[in-house]
Amino acid sequence: MTRLLPLILVLVFSCEEKKSSTSSYVAFTGAVIIDGSGKTPIQNGTLLLKDGRVMAVGNHNDIDIPENTQIQDVSGKTIIPGIINAHGHVGDVKGIEGGHFSKENTIDNLSIYARYGVTTVVSLGGERSEAEPLRAVNDTTAGQRARLFIAGEVIEGETPAEALAVVERNHKMGVDFMKIRVDDNLGTIQKMPEDVYQAIIDRSHELGYKISTHMYYLEDARKLLEAGSDMLAHSVRDEPVDNEFIALLKEKNISYCPTLTRELSTFVYGEEGDFFNDPFFSREYDSATVQPLRDPDYKLKVRNNLSAQTYKKQLPVAMANLKTLADAGIPIIFGTDSGIPTRFMGYFEHLEMELMADSGLTPMQIIVSATKIPAEYLNLKDLGTLSRGHWADFIILDADPLVDIKNVRNIHKVYIGGEEIDR
Ligand SMILES: [Zn+2]
């Protein structure tokens, strides 16, 4: 035993030696690179990484590859930045059930997202203190899971004082964003009064937070923009948006997050979900998990649910509004409101892209919405586009997503911080 020890030491030493003396550069070569900025894709591109970050990106003629770089030839593939979901939720759900909050489940949720190519999740509320150490701000590289930003407790209160106490709690816990809901849930609950949300928004800004707001009605969206909301976290769903609203969004330079799959999730299980048999769905969600949603009584309940049927009726309004706002040049920020029971994290991001395409957005608009826009509008440091100094979070695809956005499902590999995600 003791005779082996020097040999082991030599081996350990030589491994260390190898790591530091040879370069840790990695270059992905030969792919078409869509960098997330919206610019023309780079043909025969080289993506050069070191220590989890992008060192260079461009046409192979313009990139000097250092000696001893590990080359990965990915000719014929397309590279896009990892998907950023600007409105998700983590920690709560296991399968189709809520109430499982723990650090382990939060990590598990983030791993599911990562396997679907969602490399960053902005969780807009419901996370607890166990999620705080997992925040992206603490990441060196993320390690087999998506990066995380959190909003903590969704701020509520009947009076400004009550609501401000929640703001302080969130601040103490260490959140990245604040989040409120201004909605009467189709006339079934009391809506947050204006003086309460104004106080929350003002205090959040004083403390240096951006605040994201759940809303449904055009009138509320307009008032929230006036009050200083930094992000509209859902679609306007009651009526078509008008020029006054577009002008206000432009003046305030605020992003708009459609979350079309949120609407879909309310009514889609009234019928047999056609995605239950999709292998891209069942790779994470097996038939036992979704069995309760196939129950005829459950389906009937959904079909007879007035709220569900109202959201169904209003989904085309949301889709038309998305197209109007995108055409007007409003920054569309990608989000799904997934990670809530029956909104399947990871898979729903791909469904959302499909619905955005059905709404009339181009694949390039959708990709930019899921990469550059969230990073820019939510100040997500070193994320978004594939550019020098940013984290090397990207997806290698087997098919061209600009031909059909559904090709984002043809995932060859996912990388977060330059580390391949085990799929
Ligand atoms: Zn939400």
Q: Are 169 and 136 in contact (CB under 8 A)?
A: no
Residue 7 is predicted with a pLDDT of 46
| Separation of CA 20 and ligand 1 centre (Å) | 45
| Cα angle 274-280-282, degrees, rounded to a multiple of 5 | 70
Residue type at position 52: G
Could you state, in chain order, the average pLDDT of each consecutive group of 10 residues for the chain (423 residues)? Answer: 44 42 81 98 98 97 96 98 98 95 96 98 96 88 89 97 98 98 96 98 98 98 98 98 98 98 97 89 95 96 97 98 98 98 97 98 98 98 97 98 98 97 96
| Separation of CA 321 and ligand 1 centre (Å) | 19
- Kindly state the tokens that stand for 332: 């569309």
| Separation of CA 403 and ligand 1 centre (Å) | 31
Q: Are 377 and 325 in contact (CB under 8 A)?
A: no
| Separation of CA 415 and ligand 1 centre (Å) | 26
Phi–psi pair at 160, nearest 5 degrees: -55, -40
| Separation of CA 133 and ligand 1 centre (Å) | 21
- Kindly state the tokens that stand for 126: 């419901």
| Separation of CA 271 and ligand 1 centre (Å) | 24
Instruction: Tell the residue number behind the tokens 């790779």, with chain if given.
Output: 283
Q: Which residues are bridge partners to 28 per DSSP? A: 47, 72
| Separation of CA 249 and ligand 1 centre (Å) | 21
| Separation of CA 296 and ligand 1 centre (Å) | 28
Of residues 51, 62, 60, the one with CA closest to residue 26: 51
Cα–Cα distance measured from residue 20 to residue 23, given in angstroms and rounded to the nearest whole number: 7
Cα–Cα distance measured from residue 214 to residue 218, given in angstroms and rounded to the nearest whole number: 12
Q: CA separation (Å) from 181 to 15, 200, 212?
A: 54, 11, 9
| Separation of CA 257 and ligand 1 centre (Å) | 11
* Dihedral angle over CA of 159, 162, 167, 171, nearest 10: 160
Q: To which H or E segment does residue 53 belong?
A: strand 53-59
Residue 141 is predicted with a pLDDT of 66
| Separation of CA 181 and ligand 1 centre (Å) | 9
Residue 13 is predicted with a pLDDT of 43
| Separation of CA 336 and ligand 1 centre (Å) | 8
Cα–Cα distance measured from residue 389 to residue 223, given in angstroms and rounded to the nearest whole number: 38
Find the length of the chain.
423
Residue type at position 359: S
| Separation of CA 182 and ligand 1 centre (Å) | 12
Residue type at position 4: L
| Separation of CA 155 and ligand 1 centre (Å) | 12
DSSP state of 332: B
| Separation of CA 220 and ligand 1 centre (Å) | 17
| Separation of CA 93 and ligand 1 centre (Å) | 13
| Separation of CA 16 and ligand 1 centre (Å) | 46
Return the number of other C-beta atoms located less than 10 Å from residue 315's C-beta.
21
